[in-house]
Each structure stands twice: as C-alpha cells, then as structure tokens.
Amino acid sequence: MSSLLLHHPVALSKPPPSLHLPVSSTNPRSPWKIRFASRAYAATHSPSFGEIHVIVGPMFAGKTTALIQRVQLETDQGRRAAMIKSDKDTRYGLDSIVSHDGFKMPCWALPDLSSFPAKVGPLAYDELDVIGIDEAQFFGDLYDFCRNAADHDGKTVVVAGLDGDYLRRRFGSVLDLIPIADSVTKLTARCGLCEQRACFTLRKTNDTEKELIGGADVYMPVCRQHYVKGQIVVEAARIVLESQKIKL
Ligand SMILES: Nc1ncnc2c1ncn2[C@@H]1O[C@H](COP(=O)(O)OP(=O)(O)O)[C@@H](O)[C@H]1O
Ligand SMILES: Cc1cn([C@H]2C[C@H](O)[C@@H](COP(=O)(O)O)O2)c(=O)[nH]c1=O
C-alpha cells in the first residue's frame, strides 16, 4: 500500500526551516553573538512547522479538482504526499479520489484520520510532507488530526470539504479549522437553474438525514434565490407526500 504515497521520481530532501528570529543588527549587546547563537539554536531545535489550507464550497464547485491539482503540484516539486478520503463515500470505489469531471488520484479510504499514521506505517508517515483530505465533513477527528499534523508533525495539510449541508448548517468540523488554518478558499459552482454563481447545495429529494451520499441524482448547486425557492418546493412536496401517507 506504500504506492499510495505519491512522490516525484527524484527524491528531494526537505527544505530547511526558515529562520524568523527577531534579532536586531542594531542591538548594542553583541549582535553578532546573539544572531549566531539564535541561528545555531534554530538549526538544532526548531521543528519544521506545517500548514493547513482549507477548500470549501457547495457540491460541484471544484473542491476535489483543486485538491488534486494542489497535491499534484506539491509532488511535482519533489514533496512526498498522500491523499485520504472518507470510506463513507463509495461512489467511485475506495482506491481513488475522483472529481465530478473524472480527474483521479489514488487515496487511502479511511473511517477516521487518527488511524492514518498506523495504516501508512510510522516511518512512511514521518517522511510525508503533504497530506490531502477529501470529503473532510465526514471525519469526526478532523480538527485534532490537522492541528497535530501541522503543529507537531510539520505536515502541509490540504483539506477539501463541504462547509454546509443541504440545510446550510455547518457540516462536521470543517469550519472549526478556520482559526488554525493558513488559508481558506470558498469556491462556488454555477446554479443548476440560472447559471449564476452558486454557493449552496440543494437536495432534490425528501430525505432528511444529514449524511446522504450522492451526486447529481440527489444534489444540485444553486444560487441564493433558487436555494430559497427550491427549499419551498421540496418542503411542499414533502408535506404532500406525508399527507398521502396518512390517507393510505
Ligand atoms: N451535474 C453537475 N452540475 C454541476 N457541475 C457538474 C455536474 N457534473 C459534473 N460537473 C463538473 O464538476 C466539476 C467540479 O467537480 P469536483 O471538483 O468534483 O467538485 P466538488 O468536489 O466541489 O464537488 C465542475 O467543474 C463541473 O464541470
Ligand atoms: C449537501 C450534502 C452532501 N452530502 C454528501 C453528498 C456527497 O456524497 C458528498 C459531497 O461530495 P462533493 O465532493 O462535495 O461533491 O456529501 C451529504 O451527505 N449531506 C449533505 O447535506
């Protein structure tokens, strides 16, 4: 399974950690000594810190495409990367992340993120520079995993997921990452009804559970106007169906 660690054919070593030490060259108390000591300390003690980049948006906004492109770019630059997705999403099998346009990348499909280091092997985990996570809304341990990976393990974590569900409520812990993220990107899709910018996902069926795996058969990206109108239509249909059930 180590083939799922994506890497460039030419092995490059990790870049050295950058020095951001507040040493002033005008310090009257032996500036060179302080600067030298600080650099020596940093070289031996400074861990290389990671980063967290979050990509959110409605369905069909291009989140998976952006994640694949970002991780591909990293591997092209010689960094070692692995992709993870939730094993709840079985739409395209479990061995690949696949965008709605058909772009693919091999991945680990896992029930949770904490099992990843053991699954991949501790040595292989240590060597990883970049971890991509798709369908992040489905991971209950998303926050702890990403924080540890970036703060303590020096990983660059790129996370793609839904910020909101079909009722526009927060989805999983994706939003909890914002305070610990280096960057947050909200992508938009095209409204399935008017082609305007779409920020929301409309569920076209009467199902009410929060988690319901599906694609264009169940969901449509919509603008604000069509989200509000669409909710009224779906709710009206639900009431009609409920009343018919009662009569039967
Ligand atoms: N029914 C559809 N509605 C909207 N976009 C679609 C549909 N089917 C395929 N697409 C394509 O899906 C692409 C986005 O795919 P993807 O990166 O998987 O999005 P996300 O991960 O945000 O759901 C769009 O650029 C669009 O070309
Ligand atoms: C809105 C919404 C979506 N889901 C599911 C449907 C899909 O399986 C994924 C999202 O996939 P994508 O890569 O963002 O296209 O999430 C859900 O379970 N509940 C919802 O409310």
State the complex-level ipTM.
0.97
Specify whether the CB–CB gap between 158 and 71 falls below 8 A.
Answer: yes
Ligand having the closest approach to the CA of 98: 1
Residue 185: the pLDDT is: 98
* pLDDT tens digits along 135-177: 999 999 999 999 999 999 999 999 999 999 999 999 999 999 9
Among 150, 215, 142, 207, smallest CA distance to 176 is for 142
Q: Quote the tokens at residue 83.
A: 């992709």
Cβ atoms < 10 Å from Cβ of 125: 18
| Candidate of 159, 162, 188 to mutate for ligand 2, largest count of ligand atoms within 8 Å of Cβ | 162
Distance 61 CA to ligand 1 centre (A): 6
Query: 207-238 pLDDT, tens per residue?
Result: 999 999 999 999 999 999 999 998 888 888 88
- Could you say which of 135, 195, 209, 211 is catalytic? 135
- The verdict on whether 135 is a catalytic residue reads yes
**Mutate which of 63, 83, 213 for ligand 2 pocket (most atoms within 8 A of beta carbon):** 213
Please tell me the predicted confidence (pLDDT) of residue 2: 38
